[in-house]
Amino acid sequence: VGIRYDGYEHMTTYDQAARIVEELYAGGVSSIQMRYRGWFNKGLNNAYPDRVSPIAGVGSAAELRALRDLLGEEGGNVFPDVMLQKVLYGSRHFSPQREAARNVSNQTWLFTDYSRSLQYMSSDYMAGVYYINSPLASAGQVGGFLGDYRKLGLDGVSLGDLGDFLSSDKGRSRQVSRE
């Protein structure tokens, strides 16, 4: 009984990440390559990345560049993470009918991550339900992402789900094989 509330909690801001990096430097660690997840379009389960909307509560673009510069002092870098193959169910600006990969029965693929420890299909905050992005739709998606990402002035990116699986599109009007 109660009222459902979906809220966001910012776990680590850019300033907090910088303090962690300084502590690691003080402890003798150098050349840190940082993968920063959940920095744009609604966090860890980020929406369809055809555009980039950094989360203001995590920090500004200037603070992210300052983190990059701090890491660069010791030969490191920051790599903001983006998912390009998996698209969260219900993402705005994504049309499953046009952009999701299809199987040989012309049905879109929907999946969720499998929790090996609990032996069930997970739907917690880390997993969610995803469509597989069609390889044909990826070009436009990447172009939109890059246009906004370049404005941030960063030189690295983490392709978080690229290589997780090999996809094809068997839609009747748009065949894309794995070869």
DSSP string, 18-50: HHHHHHHHHTT----EEEE-S-BTTSTT---TT
Token pair 């673009």 in the structure block, residue:
61
Question: What is the model's pTM?
Answer: 0.79
Which of 14, 96, 98, 81 has its CA nearest to residue 41? 81
- For each of the chain's 179 residues, which pLDDT tens digit applies? 678 776 777 889 999 999 999 999 999 999 999 999 989 887 877 677 878 888 888 999 999 999 999 999 999 999 999 988 888 887 777 888 888 888 878 888 777 766 666 666 655 544 578 888 887 777 777 888 888 899 999 989 998 887 777 777 777 667 776 66
Q: Residue 137 is which amino acid?
A: A
CA 71 to chain CA mean position, Å: 21
Confidence (pLDDT) at 59: 93
Compute how many other C-beta atoms are within 10 angstroms of the C-beta atom of residue 111.
Answer: 14
Confidence (pLDDT) at 177: 67
pLDDT digits (tens, 9 = 90+) for 117-136: 666 665 554 457 888 888 77
Confidence (pLDDT) at 10: 82
Which of 112, 113, 116, 115 has its CA nearest to residue 129? 112
Token pair 């960063």 in the structure block, residue:
154
CA angle 157, 161, 163 (to 5 degrees): 105
Assign residue 4 a region (left: φ > 0; alpha: ψ between -120 and 50; beta: otherwise): beta
| SS3 assignment, position 82 | strand
Confidence (pLDDT) at 156: 92
| SS3 assignment, position 73 | coil
Confidence (pLDDT) at 125: 45
Q: Residue 73 is which amino acid?
A: E
Joined tokens for residue 11: 């776990």
